Amino acid sequence: MRNTLSTPLAHGADAPSHGRTVAVIGAYGHTGRFVVAELLRRGMTPLLVGRDREKTEALRGLAPDAPVRVASTGDAASLDRALDGASAVVNCAGPFLDTALPVADAALRAGIPYLDVAAEQGVSAALFDTYGDRAREAGVVIAPSLAFYGGLGDLLATAALGEWPDADEITLAYGLDSWHPTQGTRRTGESNAGQHLVYTGDELRPFDYSQDVFPWDFPEPLGTQDATAFATADQVTLPRHVRTREVRAVMNLAPLRDIRADETPAPVPADAAGRSAQTFLVEAVVRRGKETRRAIAGGRDIYAVTAPLVVEAVERLLDGRGKGPGVRAAGEAFDAVDFLRALTPDHLTRLDLPL
């Protein structure tokens, strides 16, 4: 298999990270490979964990010196062996409805931070609802949804809030020029059907996609496009640390048409780092009374940008730049403005924050 992730992207991280081993569950998946490459770029040692030994061993071309371990989320002992010697674990193995809780349990037993890149709202809600006390007692941080859908919106909304202690409403607008889904995304969509949520009226409520279409003014260069309501993990994470009654999410129709079409192909590498040509803009709009604040981020490839998001979080947790133990949303665990700025310009090519 051709290694499309072998050429590093530059990054501005200057915190020391040598000698740190981070287990990557689902390392040979599409997003897992990006996470492995990002760990290597930052001088960390990835520990490659997967169910299939042959597929995991095939990552040697990307990480020749990385340890390889085989584990199943249905076998707690194998997970314990897989995490032995790790400083943190990043779960990239979907569907996360099947993997998140077993891997989080293993992280608690190992006494190391757990992070995942799950977009499934139910997974994040379950971790917040049932793991908070256990994580605090174990002295461990559990950070769900450190990904494009979840972590990025949470960080942007937190940055837009600034010193505001609350907001009347938070809206997250996702604008993608296209969406070529991975096989993992398609499997997750099938397993997560009928389990979507929206945060409205101060609570999570069931949501379905048979919603109205309306015009939405996205930041340039997207401009006004047809859009519809959308369900995202940040609708679960934001209300856990921000007092608000409403968290809305909208998305333009073009990427939704792509992902709903069976004939839409998987993403294709378009540069030496393995990123596709897909571009995105995410705008967080927070309203408090008559005042509104905005934060905007733009970049390329929603799968690829997940890697620097979650690895930046790993690095900050291991460096002591995150909040203490418990289940933490991205904007709660870290200084949102500083975190986002650390990802520019190499991973976020646009970042507009309130003054």
pLDDT at 12 over 80: no
CATH of 21-146+306-336, one of 3.40.630.150, 3.40.50.2000, 3.40.50.620, 3.40.50.720: 3.40.50.720
The string over 54-77, giving b where at least 16 C-beta atoms fall within 10 Å of a residue's C-beta and e elsewhere, is eebebbeebbeebbbbbbebeeee
Q: Give me the mean pLDDT over the 226-232 stretch.
A: 95
Given this model, what pLDDT does residue 340 score?
98
Given this model, what pLDDT does residue 68 score?
97
Query: Which residues of the chain form beta strands (DSSP E)?
Result: 21-25, 45-50, 68-70, 88-91, 114-116, 141-143, 169-176, 197-200, 203-206, 214-217, 224-229, 247-252, 279-288, 291-300, 326-327, 348-352
Domain positions in the chain: 21-146+306-336, 148-302+338-352
pLDDT at 9 over 80: no
Q: Give me the mean pLDDT over the 88-111 stretch.
A: 97
Q: Give me the mean pLDDT over the 45-68 stretch.
A: 95
Task: Among 6-20, 122-136, 243-257, 328-342, name the one with the lowest average pLDDT.
Answer: 6-20
Mean pLDDT over the full length of the chain:
93
Q: pTM for the full model? A: 0.93
- One-letter-per-residue 3-state SS of 58-114: HHHHCCCCCCEEECCCCCHHHHHHHHCCCCEEEECCCCHHHHHHHHHHHHHHHCCCE
Given this model, what pLDDT does residue 8 score?
37
Do the domains 148-302+338-352 and 21-146+306-336 match in fold? no
Beta strands 214-217 and 224-229: pairing type? Answer: antiparallel
Distance of CA 210 to the CA centre of its chain: 26
Question: pLDDT for 163-213, tens place per residue?
Answer: 999 999 999 999 999 999 999 899 888 877 768 899 999 999 999 887 799
Tell whether domain 148-302+338-352 is in CATH 3.40.50.10680. no
Q: Are 196 and 206 in contact (CB under 8 A)?
A: yes
Q: Give me the mean pLDDT over the 135-153 stretch.
A: 98
Question: pLDDT for 277-303, tens place per residue?
Answer: 999 999 999 999 999 999 999 999 999
Given this model, what pLDDT does residue 83 score?
98
Instruction: Assign 3 a pLDDT band (cuts: 50, 70, 90).
Output: very low
Given this model, what pLDDT does residue 15 score?
36
Q: Give me the mean pLDDT over the 119-131 stretch.
A: 96
Task: Among 8-17, 25-34, 117-126, 146-155, name the one with the lowest average pLDDT.
Answer: 8-17
Given this model, what pLDDT does residue 16 score?
37
Given this model, what pLDDT does residue 13 score?
36
